[in-house]
Amino acid sequence: MSPARAPLTLQAVTVAGYPGVEVRPELMTSLPPILWLHGVTNVPEYAAPFLLEFARMGFPALALARRGRLGVPPRDPRSISFDGYLEDTVRVFDATGGDAVVLGHSQGGLLALKLAELRRPPAVVLLAPLPPRGILAAAPRLQTLPASLSSLAAILAGARFQPTLRQATALFLNNVPRHLRLEVYRQGVPDSGRSLRVAYFPGVPVDRSY
C-alpha cells in the first residue's frame, strides 16, 4: 500500500515585497508556474480554490497582493493609479522568473494585457477582465442598474472604492450563487477609484499585436 499523500495547502509567501499565497504540486513537474493577478477589491486568498486546483493538475500557482493591501503602502488606496498597479505587476512577474503563465481576473485581466506588452509571458489567460479601450463593457441588467450607477460616483471622483454588498452584487457578483455572495463580499478590501477611472474614461489602450 502506497503511503497517503499530504493534502495540498496554501503557503504564505512574499515576493519582491508583496505578500501572497502559493500552492506547489505534490510532485515536481516541468509545467510552468501560474501567476494569478487579482481583481478589484480582492486579496490573494480569493484565488485559493483556483490555485489548489492548478496544483492538483501539476502547476505551481501563486497570487500576490498589490500596493494598498495586506500592509503594502499606502494605507489609503485612493492615491493609487492604474500605472502604479502595473508597476507592481511587472515587479512581481520579473521576481518570479519571467516564465509564468499569467492569469488575470477583473482588473487583473487588464493588467495582464498591459504586462504582455512589456514582458511577453508565455501565455495570458483572462477571466472576466476589465475591457481595454475600444471594447465596451457589457451593460448591467436593468434591475441592477441603480446600484451600478451609484457605485460609479467613487470611481469618477477617484475616491476610495468600497462598494456595498448591493453594489458589489450589481457589479461583480450577479452570477455568483446567492448563498455565496456574502462570503465572497466579506473577503473584499477598499480599492482605488482612481485606478478604475482610467479603465472607464478614456480606457486603457492595449497593443493588439501580442
Cα–Cα distance measured from residue 106 to residue 40, given in angstroms and rounded to the nearest whole number:
6
pLDDT of residue 143: 62
pLDDT of residue 21: 97
pTM for this model (two decimals): 0.90
Cα–Cα distance measured from residue 127 to residue 39, given in angstroms and rounded to the nearest whole number:
10
**What value does the mean pLDDT take over residues 9-21?**
95
Strand ranges for 88-137 from DSSP E: 101-105, 124-127
**What value does the mean pLDDT take over residues 31-53?**
95
Residue 154 has pLDDT above 50, yes or no: yes
Confidence of residue 152 (pLDDT cuts 50, 70, 90): confident
What CATH number should be reported for the domain holding residue 171? Answer: 3.40.50.1820
Residue 148: inside a domain, yes or no? yes
Residue 156: inside a domain, yes or no? yes
Cell of 42: 480582492
Q: Tell me which residue range forms the domain holding 181.
A: 11-200
Q: What's the total number of domains in the chain?
A: 1
Q: Which of residues 3 and 170 earns the better pLDDT score?
A: 170
